[in-house]
Structure 1
Amino acid sequence: MKNLILTSALLLSGSAFAGGGSMVPSGNTIASIVANDPNFSTLLAAVQAAGLVDTLNSAGPFTVFAPTNAAFAKIPEADLNALLNDPAQLKALLLYHVVPGRVTAAQVTKLTSAKTVNGANINVSTSGGMVMINDATVTKADVRASNGVIHVIDTVLMP
């Protein structure tokens, strides 16, 4: 059921990627990395439903804490469906995963908090060599994009 809803969100989202409506952005932008990695298909559906593709394809730079499909799977299905059908709430949630500027892993580990694009702060901590963003663990750091950097996380951040 969840896959059907996500597929529907992908097909019905009116967002077109840069490049004449192509379904996959070109280049090495944050949007193209997300679009071309199957581990981010739920994030891609959410970004499209929230109308943020152009933002993540723009010059930036941005730091994105990108939840995987497994991270989204932790959200109860009814809650995820409600999010995907509420573009304003979805946009606020997704922008909570974005920090202005290019913040590398080395820089993240020196922070205790960071202000997100949606205006709220996220907490940053390190323990046992692991970096935590709120309750999420960074599982892969410094995925370089032409307009920023992606840090993969295992839990969706809730503002």
Structure 2
Amino acid sequence: MKGDKLFLKIFSLFFFFTFHFDLKAEGIITTIRENPNLSTFYSYINNTDLEATLQQKFPWNWTIFVPNNKAFDALPKKVHDRILSDTSLRKMLILDHILIGQKSSIDLNSKITEEITVSNKPIQLYKRGSLFVKDMVVVNENTSSDNGVIHEINCVMFVQPSQEDDRLTKFQKDKFPITSCCMETDNEIDLWLKSANSKF
């Protein structure tokens, strides 16, 4: 319940600024749109209020972990049928990949740091040679724009509290409070849907 209230506050603040800042900074959207490897991601935000929000000038920049086309091609059919075909669920999934504030690989080291996505889910970032989002490698990092930075990833993220992940032992849940990996299995899809539907 407490987490839901925080989510609503963040979401309300997110869209409050959308309608109170008229100046546009198309940098991050333009960068995504002009990258042919990210065309599928762009197709899901094109002509939506999310695209409009990311084009506004805010007091902060954005960090977006953008799944490339191969990532969407590799998704199970169930993700397309149950999540990406639904406007609200699709938006929530995309928001899992967005941070308020700019995080480039030069800001990170081998020590794990925790950040909160716009969808109010914590993710763990660190850099050991390559930039990682928990278990996922960023394949093309630090693509900068006027209002943020893009990190290309090769899968669609599945993020949830470890306590909700039945695959993990108690030791794993205590040691790693956040599960973040590639969304690949029916169990991961069902867990994500369960978490998403609880917010409606």
Question: If the length of structure 1 is used for normalisation, what is the TM-score?
Answer: 0.74
Matched residue, 1:131: 131
Post-superposition CA distance 1:24-63 (Å, at most 9, x none): xx97511111111110111011223764111221224101
Q: Which one of 40, 43, 56 corresponds to residue 41 of structure 2? A: 43
| Percentage of pairs with the same residue | 28
**Is 1:54 aligned with 2:52?**
yes
SS across alignment from 1:75: coil
Q: Which amino acid aligns with 1:41?
A: S
CA contact (8 A) 1:31 1:56 kept: yes
Following the alignment from structure 2 to structure 1, what is the Cα–Cα distance between the partners of residues 84 and 44? 6
Matched residue, 1:120: 121
The structure in which a higher percent of residues are helix is 2
Following the alignment from structure 1 to structure 2, what is the Cα–Cα distance between the partners of residues 114 and 36? 28
Aligned residues: 133
SS across alignment from 1:131: strand
Following the alignment from structure 1 to structure 2, what is the Cα–Cα distance between the partners of residues 63 and 48? 18
Matched residue, 1:102: 102
Unaligned runs of at least 5 residues, structure 1: 1-25
Following superposition, the deviation at residue 80 of structure 1 comes to 1.9
Following the alignment from structure 1 to structure 2, what is the Cα–Cα distance between the partners of residues 101 and 88? 24
Unaligned runs of at least 5 residues, structure 2: 1-23, 160-200
SS across alignment from 1:63: strand
Post-superposition CA distance 1:93-118 (Å, at most 9, x none): 11111111111211143542211111
Following superposition, the deviation at residue 135 of structure 1 comes to 3.1
Change (3 A) 1:154 1:111: same
Q: Which amino acid aligns with 1:77?
A: K
Following superposition, the deviation at residue 69 of structure 1 comes to 0.4
- Give the number of the structure whose alpha-carbon radius of gyration is greater: 2
CA contact (8 A) 1:135 1:155 kept: no
Following the alignment from structure 2 to structure 1, what is the Cα–Cα distance between the partners of residues 80 and 32? 19
Following the alignment from structure 1 to structure 2, what is the Cα–Cα distance between the partners of residues 34 and 135? 24
Following superposition, the deviation at residue 119 of structure 1 comes to 0.6
**RMSD over equivalenced CA pairs, Å:** 2.1
CA contact (8 A) 1:134 1:157 kept: no
